[in-house]
Structure 1
């Protein structure tokens, strides 16, 4: 009841006092948690509970909101260094991705950072182009600088330089049976590729080319296996591999489509970037999309609607991947077990697919 009476009195107050005026010669004093407690009419312990996000079940939601509002109005900022020493925690997560030049991973970061901010965490990026990490650890000691790591399976090779077995690790889009991680956040990849195959088969396609990523990663292995299983007997499937680059994909596809006698009617790509390369190659060879060749992508990046015709592709909720990655890490740090079904994918049908031309 005492806490309720304090919060009621505080709610009736006209507001926290304004910060003292600055003088040219006097040093500026930062507001402290004691100042917040006094202005809000609560104890310093209550301020610590609220700003440390440990108030649930101990402080009312109304009091918690009052403390947060008062802290904001006073311009209070916690002393992170002191708090980290006290708690043995930096409240920092490392996100390991191949590169932010790929829109997908930029969206993953956006989702992870959004959830992290709600819990007073920061997210630091560790870019690992082509799955190979930088030459040295970005921290003097990663184990001392981090609370945990979230990593894409495409950047898994970089993990050897970071932390150790005691550092919580959440793997994104990675083999859940591979072990070595505290939690996994995965996608319904097989369902996505099944949807692509069903769509093309329903249009009447029977000769397929799989433009596969040359990156050695579990996620692309799953896509290849799913496509092969989804195509019934009597259909033809050929696979060629390319780096995840429009230029490389264009060159690969020009070679693959050069012989008219062995051309597919549909190209299934592991990624929208590869699909754009496939479209460029087709045009260079005088092929019309989709009249002469249907093309599908995977990811549904902005690139998918920047080309003409727009790409039929599988939409991956990239921001949700980042959000769940951070949720999983927070769950592990709280001593609980993370469980969640694979995130669903959606086939988005656009103008790059149509029934095959009669031959």
Structure 2
């Protein structure tokens, strides 16, 4: 036992009956082909019994790496980004890495540049496109980078991990068309990033060739009250009232539901409302919200796996993860025309 009272690799070697070099190979994940399964198991058991944890700081100095990734997101107040962190941290831990989280102090929107102080302390970066303005210093620093929810880069650019956003919007739009809706209001997030541009473009493309369809788009901030105001504008605008509010996110859909109630409209009898993200909020609303489920933890996990591959010098291809429409009671056929 060391003078600090903490177990050392020598203690683990003694209990397991092996050399310190063998302990380093096993706990460093480099034992396959050099050490038997039985010996590796004995080392891990001894380490667990002693409560031994490798000195990652000393190891980093030897390897010239910090074994730390920086995850840049616009906010942790949004459940989606918290779940991304959970997935990234899980994969990182499996490979002896840590994840430092850098949320924008201002919430949803571009984060300030964190790289002046962090550049020397991290091995690579995983970043949401919604915090892309924080990434201006990466090119000069040569840090490996993986982008999330970002337009796929040309060959040689940063690898991307995306959701099938267009397919998700297509699913919900076709669901609403199948119910018989023809008067649509799109409550669109007023955020200039790839993921929201795709949503707007896909809604317009899906409705363009359908006879009798009317589409009105109202843009607003990613905020309940902003969405409430946008929904009121859509419902009170000139022409026949929309029969459905198709929202870019569940938070916007919550604002849309508030607007409907304020106008004396029932959801879904008088007005259908759909969301996107399938947050916990979707089932907290009454009626429960039709939404598109996004595998956020898988996005984080895939982003971390891609970064690990970059650090290992392995090729990384862009990834697109599937999404799924979850139909609940906030959508129904439109009311009969007066």
In the other structure, the counterpart of 2:200 is 224
Q: Structure 1 stretches of 5 or more lacking a match? A: 1-18, 21-26
Distance in 1 of aligned mates of 2:154 and 2:170: 24
How many Å apart are 1:172 and its aligned residue? 0.6
In the other structure, the counterpart of 1:105 is 81
TM-score, with length taken from structure 2:
0.93
2:229 aligned to which of 239, 248, 251: 251
How many Å apart are 1:170 and its aligned residue? 0.6
Partners of 2:234 and 2:242 within 8 A in 1: no
Partners of 1:168 and 1:181 within 8 A in 2: no
How many Å apart are 1:92 and its aligned residue? 0.6
Q: Root-mean-square deviation (CA), in Å?
A: 1.9
Aligned residues: 333
Q: Deviations over 1:57-83 (max 9, x none)?
A: 322333222212211222222222221
When structure 1 is superposed on structure 2, of 294-303 and 173-182 the one drifting more is 173-182
TM-score, with length taken from structure 1:
0.88
2:291 aligned to which of 310, 313, 318: 313
Distance in 2 of aligned mates of 1:239 and 1:318: 27
Counterpart mapping for 1:29-108 below 5 A: 29-108=5-84
1:346 aligned to which of 324, 329, 332: 324
1:284 aligned to which of 249, 259, 262: 262
Distance in 2 of aligned mates of 1:137 and 1:189: 28
2:216 aligned to which of 238, 246, 266: 238
Partners of 2:87 and 2:300 within 8 A in 1: yes
Larger Rg over CA atoms: 1
Are 1:293 and 2:271 counterparts?
A: yes
**Structure 1 residues 178 and 264 mapped into 2: Cα distance closer, same or farther (>3 Å)?**
farther
How many Å apart are 1:162 and its aligned residue? 5.5
1:325 aligned to which of 303, 306, 321: 303
How many Å apart are 1:337 and its aligned residue? 1.3
- The 4+ residue runs of structure 1 with deviation greater than 4 A are 178-181
1:195 aligned to which of 152, 165, 171: 171
When structure 1 is superposed on structure 2, of 277-286 and 28-37 the one drifting more is 28-37
**Structure 1 residues 290 and 204 mapped into 2: Cα distance closer, same or farther (>3 Å)?**
same
When structure 1 is superposed on structure 2, of 61-70 and 289-298 the one drifting more is 61-70
Q: Structure 2 stretches of 5 or more lacking a match? A: none
Secondary structure in 1 aligned to 2:184?
Answer: strand
